[in-house]
Structure formats: structure tokens, C-alpha cells
Structure 1
Amino acid sequence: MEASDAPPADSIAVVGGVYHERCMRPRWREIFGSAGRAASAIAAMQGAVELHGYVDAHGAEVVTQRAVFSTTPMAIRTKEASTAVAFDYHHGLETPRIYGVAQPLPEIEVSARHIVRFGMLEGDARVHGDRVVYDPQNAQNPRPFHENGSTARELALVLNQHEASLMTGKTDVPVEEMARELLQTHKASVVVIKRGPRGALVFDGTNVHAVPAYRSQEVWKIGSGDNFVAHFAHQWMQRGRTPAESADLASRATAFYCETRSFAAPESLAAFNPPAITVSERYAKGWRPTVYLAGPFFTLAQLWLVEQARGNLRSMGLTVFSPYHDVGLGSADDVVSKDLDGIRRADFVFAIGDGLDSGTIYEIGFARALNKPVIVYCENESEENKKMIEGSGCTLTKDYVGAVYQAVWLAAGL
């Protein structure tokens, strides 16, 4: 679908994927994708925006209606796709199952003053702008911005640390060195590298600025990176703020998005004052704590969740001691002393509380008796059944992804 009306002078052209998204827990059925979400986030901040991308017939109807009800101009300039691309998740930390990607579609070309370009699955976009923000969104092979002929007078690269490592070919070097190399070899004016609980590093060619990550009560992970890019672009392009100021406001807005699953407006963002995540000196220097994973593993469902938690915690850089994996099954004489030694050696405990498994409850109590921090993910038990756990100083959450992030934030501060 094309629109012919001229955009406002400060409008941002957002180019990227418009995808169907489905998550089992928490339940989520929406059509956003990187470009659709970023355009909505900019519009919520009262920034004029154009949405460019490929979209199927149903998706086109949804984004058109969303634009109609937007209080800020949102022009829809999408190209028709015959199939819908869909992302399926069990939870927000899972690598999604992706459906509907067929043969590459014809390249999109966009020329505008301000542009946000995302990497896409079903095609490519060649863009030409004065100020451009580029997020390659590719965990295996992030493509350089200029590779397809795209141009920018001022280019800002927004990457996570893994993408920065892939694009520089370097792993065991300071992030500052990666940023400087990206600035030079990719002809960028600004490089923003996101570093998880350590926040983001912003390099503008002269100075390096550290921007903190901010804590949220819950964590809705899907699309949080899109939201960061949108707010960075809005502040840098439409509000005239410095890259460091723009990244800090984007970090705050991302915490708002993670906590509410909604887009911040100027008033709500101004009133939102989340605490910055504290990072200890030894964590910043590379030390990582050990977490004891407590939880029942006697049914397929229980084992699946233990595997998920172990994998997610390890992917966040933590060392995990799991009784199932590191001790195994056996009699009380075989396993109990080894399990308790694991708690003694661990820095804190991550516990799966649903089902009120007696062994898990004992492990929680044993850890608290040793004054070790405990994060408890417990979604389905009554307040009465959780009273002792909560009252003993554990961090208790009903949100699985939020529980994992609580563990990572705790680890960063130890």
C-alpha cells in the first residue's frame, strides 16, 4: 500500500520488518515486527513517522488501522507480500520459530532526511538519508550498512555486543576498541553498543559515554531492542539531543516498555523514574557469579523448565550449578550432601517454586539460612503458600523472563 502525501519535514522513515508475533507466556498475539514497533514508538512520542516494509494483506489492514488512530501522523508506505512472516515464542527469552519466509522480495529503496533502517528477513532496503540509524538485527551475520549501496551523511550504528564482535571480527578486546573500529571502518558518526545489565556505550568520534540500563518490575523482552532504536532516533533526529542524551532516554523508555508492554508518551516517560542497574567493579572486569538452580525435575514439564532456566541463565553469562545436571539422580545419601555443598559454593539461588516441591523449598530455606540471595519464579501458587518465601527476604516474581533478569541484575551488583 502506498501513500502519496508529502511527509512533515522532520518525519522519520522507518524501514524494516512488519511481522506477526505470537508468544505462549505471557500471551501475545500482535502484528509489529521491528519497523512496525519502532514506528508506533516514535508516533507515541509525538514524532511524525513513515512506515516502509513488506506486509501481507491482514498485516496491512492492522497497521493501517493503527495509523488511523494514531494521534501523530503515521504514513503507511508498505509493499505487498503474498505470505505473512510470523515469529512464535514459548516465552520472551526463547529463540523464536520463524515461519513464512520465502524467496527474497524486490529491494525497497527509500530516500528521506531521517531514516531508521532495520535488517529484514524477506528482502533488503537501500536507503539514502542525511541522518540514518541502522540496526542490522542479525545474530549470525550482521551486514554492513553500506554493503548494498545505502548512504548517509551521518550514520549511527546501534548494535548489541555480540553483533559488534561479529562485525569487527574481535572478541577479546575492550568494547571501546570495537566502537572505534566500527566508527572508522563503517563510516559512522556514532556507535552505540548495548551491553545488557551494563547498559550501553556511546562513542561519538570524540568521547565515550557510558549509559546505564534501568530496572523494571517485569520484563517484556520481545521488541525491547526495537523500542531502544526508535527512542534513540526520535531524540537524536527530532529532538536534537546528543547521542549520549538520546541513548540514556532510549534506555529509560525501554525499561518503561519492558515493564508495561506499551509505548511511552512524552508525559509518561517524564514521570517514569526507574533505578539504574548497579554494576560492581569485579563484574565490570569480567567476573561472573555462580547461581544454584533449584527446582523439581521429576516430570517432562519440570525438566523442560529446568533446561530452559539453565540455558537462559548461562546465555546471560552466569555459571549455573544444576543438581539435575551436575549431581544427578540417586538416594539421599548419594545426592543431598552434594546439593547442599552446591548451595554453599554458589553466590545465590534461582528457584522454580511452582508445585511447592519439598526439596526446592528446603533448598530455599537452606540458602536463606546462609544469608544467600534467592530469586524465586512462582506463577501459580496462592499468596498464603508463598508467605514464608516472601517473608524470608526472597525476591519473588510471577514472570519467568523477569525472574531471569532479576537474577542477572543481582549478579551484576555482587
Structure 2
Amino acid sequence: MITVVGGVYREVCVRPQTDEIYGSAGRAAAAIAEYAGENQVELYCYLDQNLKDVIESIANIYGFQVNPTDVEQGVAFEYLHGLSEPKVYKPVETYQPISVIAEKVIRFGMLEGSAVIDCKYAVYDPQNAQTPESFRTNGSSVEHLALILNQNEAIAMAKLYNADIKDVARALAVREQAEVVVIKMGPRGALVYFNGEFSTVQAYKTDQVSKIGSGDMFVAHFSYFWMEEGKTPHDAAESASKATAYYCWNRGFPTRNGLESYKPTPLVPSQNYRDGRIPTVYLAGPFFTLGQLWMIEEARNHLLSMGLNVFSPYHNVGTGPAEDVVGPDLDGIRTSNVLFAIVDGLDPGTIFEIGYAQALEKSKPVVVYAENESDEDLKMMTGSGCAMSKDYVTAIYKAAWAAIEAE
């Protein structure tokens, strides 16, 4: 039996349009129950009446137990898209901590309160990139602790802002008395620290990327494989990465048979990337209206957040007559590794940049994001081997993957 403690929240996304009640803990409980079978999971969480009605129905479907702490108001997240900063609606007050005594616990950080845990094994995801709480700060106790954090959370918890990520992992293991430290690094996979040794878990490429909840899936499956099946931390993280790819691909929870038969495509970084070279993405797209400028800023920021360099004609060259901007723009294409094109509106300059990138003696990989254009208008791009996507988050990830793999 695995005990999951954490938030059950409403999550609304505009693009693609979704409206779900899961949150980190609800999603983890459902995912483990789908994989392991009924009566293998129990869930502790704060629930208002609306959330309670839905999550109890979900629990009945998947076969897990809900132990709610009743509250007046729950928490809701509203995303414009899967990579956007959400609007968060939460109660003003902080609720009394949830107390749990169990053998094997997954603890997620929560917005509306905390959880005091007494257990033998725990996997802890603080869910806070600004001020992550240490596991034992609130009086929680554990014999065997595994920390799972993204890179920003790890740096903030260790308070080592300019250190190598391996030094961050070592510091966390000592400071937090953690047996295992796993640091998720997005397209670069995950770093696993255990028994003084490091290993790296590969990421996988998928045709579709459903980002909201993907981190919860990694935590859920790592926890099950490590605490319940007794896999090594590396092997547990490897299986969790594969399960996360399955979720991103079809936004569904894998069954045991489904995960065993799933064969995702591994992301294979180029030797240059492994040697420390930071690849550059050329950001092609119109920037003549406020909406177009917003889209350019959004894509640039998300590509930068993935550790890539970005050449943006708007930011790196600026506006002006053809004799001032065309030469530097074309130089930018030649020296970049990948071209990411925002094609909605069929801007002539963007279409030209795509053709130029492909006509070079050593053509560039081209990723096209086009949500509203017809197949007929996109025929030449599709037929010439561009990676096409109608989904913004998927397109960003495809660009990052192509850049990481480019020699």
C-alpha cells in the first residue's frame, strides 16, 4: 500500500481546452492505481465539497481510497497553455496540517497547508521553486527519504545558485538526510544521486506533449517502482521517465501491460551538446502587431528556459529597411542549429526563412507551429520534412529536442 498526501486541485487550460480535477496527489493516486490495481493506494488531501464529489468518483473508477480533510475552499489553477504561469485561486487562510502515519508515503507540497508524516519510506516533491520546504521542517520523520525536484527547486532548496548541479545534489543529500536525490532537467532527462554515485536517466520524444501533470507522473511511478517493487533508484527513474512519456503522448495513465509494450523514442543528445555546447534556435515569426510580439516573447522565453540560445530577428537585429536587416537575419539562420517558425498568418518573411533554412547546403531542422492554417497551405512545409505541430507546447519541445540532437 502506498499513501499519497498532497493537493487535489481543479486545473483549467485554455489551449488545449481541458478542465480536470486531479492536482498532484489526485493524479499520482489514480496513476498508481491504474498501474498496480485496486486497493493499492490511499489518498490524503484537503477537499471542499465540489472537489470531494469529483475525486471520490475518480477514486471509485480507479480503485483507491480517499481520506479527506474537509475545508471551505479548495484550490484552482488556470493555464493559458501548458507552459504558461498559471493563475492560482486559493483560500486566504492556511489550514491545519494533515497528520499521516504510514509505511510508504508520497508527499507533495501543498498551497493550502502542510502534511506531517511519520513513515519508513518517503518520496518528497516540494512543488515550490521559490521557497521549497525541507521534509523534516514541520516535524515529519522518515527512515529512507528520496527527494524529487526540478532544477529550480533543487537550487532553491540547496541555496547554491551558481554551483554545478551535481554539487547541488550532493548538498541536498547531506542537508536533507536524503538517501536518494533525483533532479529533473526537462529535455535533458534526470540526474540521479544515490550512494555517492551519479547516473543520468534519458528523456523520450513523443508526437504530442501534455505538460500539465507530467511531473506528477514521474513522481508517482518512481515511488511505486522504488518503494513497492524494490527497483534501484536509477531503474525506478528510468521506468518513471518512460511512464511520463506515455502520459505526455496520450494524456492517459499507463497500465502495467501498456507500459511494458510502450516503446518511446529516446532523446539522443549530440556529442557537441554532451561536451557543453549550447545549441541555438532561430525564432522565425511575424512581429508587427501586439499579438504577434506577445507570441515571439512567449516562444523566446520558453526556449531560453530550456537552456537553449535563441536568435530572434526582433531581439537580435531589430526593425529597419531590407539592407539593414536581411543580411544579419540570414546570417542568424546559417549559424543556428534549428529553425522554429510561427506560421499562423502565413507571413511571407517567415515562409522565406523556412525555405532558406532548408535550401542551405547543410539544411537546418525546421519545426513549424501552425494552429489555424489549412493542410493545403502547409503542404510544402509538410512535404519537405518540417516537423509540424498544431499545439504550442509540443512545438516548443520538438524544437528543443531537435536542437539538443543537432550536431
With normalisation by structure 2, the TM-score equals 0.95
- Mean Cα displacement is larger for which, 277-286 or 126-135? 277-286
Identify the match of residue 33 of structure 1 among 16, 23, 31. 23
Aligned to 1:303: 293
Whole-angstrom CA distance in 2 between matches of 1:104 and 1:247: 33
Give CA-to-partner distance per residue, 1:26-76, whole Å, 9 cap, x none: 011001111111111111112511111111111100000111122x3x110
Instruction: Tell me by how many angstroms 1:275 deviates.
Output: 1.6
Identify the match of residue 52 of structure 2 among 25, 39, 60. 60
Instruction: Tell me by how many angstroms 1:313 deviates.
Output: 0.8
Q: Report percent identity of matched pairs.
A: 51
Aligned to 1:211: 201
Instruction: Tell me by how many angstroms 1:274 deviates.
Output: 0.5
Aligned to 1:358: 348
Contact 2:46 2:74 in 1 (8 A): no
Aligned to 1:202: 192
Whole-angstrom CA distance in 2 between matches of 1:262 and 1:76: 21
Aligned to 1:412: 404
Whole-angstrom CA distance in 1 between matches of 2:391 and 2:44: 34
Instruction: Tell me by how many angstroms 1:343 deviates.
Output: 1.5
Whole-angstrom CA distance in 2 between matches of 1:315 and 1:188: 28
Whole-angstrom CA distance in 2 between matches of 1:102 and 1:139: 21
2:103 counterpart SS class: strand
- Mean Cα displacement is larger for which, 39-48 or 198-207? 198-207
Unaligned runs of 5+ in 2: none
Aligned to 2:121: 131
Instruction: Tell me by how many angstroms 1:381 deviates.
Output: 1.6
Instruction: Tell me by how many angstroms 1:262 deviates.
Output: 1.0
What aligned pairs does 1:169-318 form with structure 2 within 5 A after superposition?
169-318=159-308
Whole-angstrom CA distance in 2 between matches of 1:82 and 1:255: 36
Aligned to 1:7: none
1:356 counterpart SS class: coil
Aligned to 1:323: 313
Whole-angstrom CA distance in 1 between matches of 2:96 and 2:188: 39
Unaligned runs of 5+ in 1: 1-10
Whole-angstrom CA distance in 1 between matches of 2:367 and 2:77: 29
Give CA-to-partner distance per residue, 1:370-412, whole Å, 9 cap, x none: 1111111112222221111122221111111011111111121
Give CA-to-partner distance per residue, 1:238-264, whole Å, 9 cap, x none: 222221111111000000011111111
Instruction: Tell me by how many angstroms 1:291 deviates.
Output: 1.3
Matched, 1:51 2:43: yes
Aligned to 1:97: 87
Q: For the aligned residues, what is the CA RMSD?
A: 1.4
- Mean Cα displacement is larger for which, 220-229 or 165-174? 165-174
Kindly provide the amino acid, as one letter, of the partner of residue 294 in structure 1: A
Whole-angstrom CA distance in 2 between matches of 1:171 and 1:411: 26
Contact 1:197 1:279 in 2 (8 A): no
Contact 2:282 2:339 in 1 (8 A): yes
Whole-angstrom CA distance in 1 between matches of 2:281 and 2:82: 21
Contact 2:90 2:111 in 1 (8 A): no
Instruction: Tell me by how many angstroms 1:206 deviates.
Output: 4.2
Aligned to 1:400: 392
2:219 counterpart SS class: helix
2:246 counterpart SS class: helix
Aligned to 2:372: 380
Aligned to 1:166: 156
2:43 counterpart SS class: strand
Contact 1:13 1:114 in 2 (8 A): yes
Q: How many residues align?
A: 402
Structure 1 residues 280 and 171: CA distance shift in structure 2, 3 A: farther
Aligned to 2:139: 149
- Mean Cα displacement is larger for which, 383-392 or 22-31? 383-392
Kindly provide the amino acid, as one letter, of the partner of residue 275 in structure 1: T
2:399 counterpart SS class: helix
Give CA-to-partner distance per residue, 1:116-150, whole Å, 9 cap, x none: 00111110111011110000111101111111111
- Mean Cα displacement is larger for which, 272-281 or 199-208? 199-208
Contact 1:198 1:284 in 2 (8 A): no
Contact 1:231 1:249 in 2 (8 A): yes
Whole-angstrom CA distance in 2 between matches of 1:339 and 1:23: 35
Whole-angstrom CA distance in 2 between matches of 1:318 and 1:208: 24
Whole-angstrom CA distance in 2 between matches of 1:312 and 1:79: 37
- Mean Cα displacement is larger for which, 320-329 or 136-145? 320-329
1:95 counterpart SS class: coil
- Mean Cα displacement is larger for which, 197-206 or 33-42? 197-206
Whole-angstrom CA distance in 2 between matches of 1:93 and 1:78: 30
Whole-angstrom CA distance in 1 between matches of 2:154 and 2:90: 28
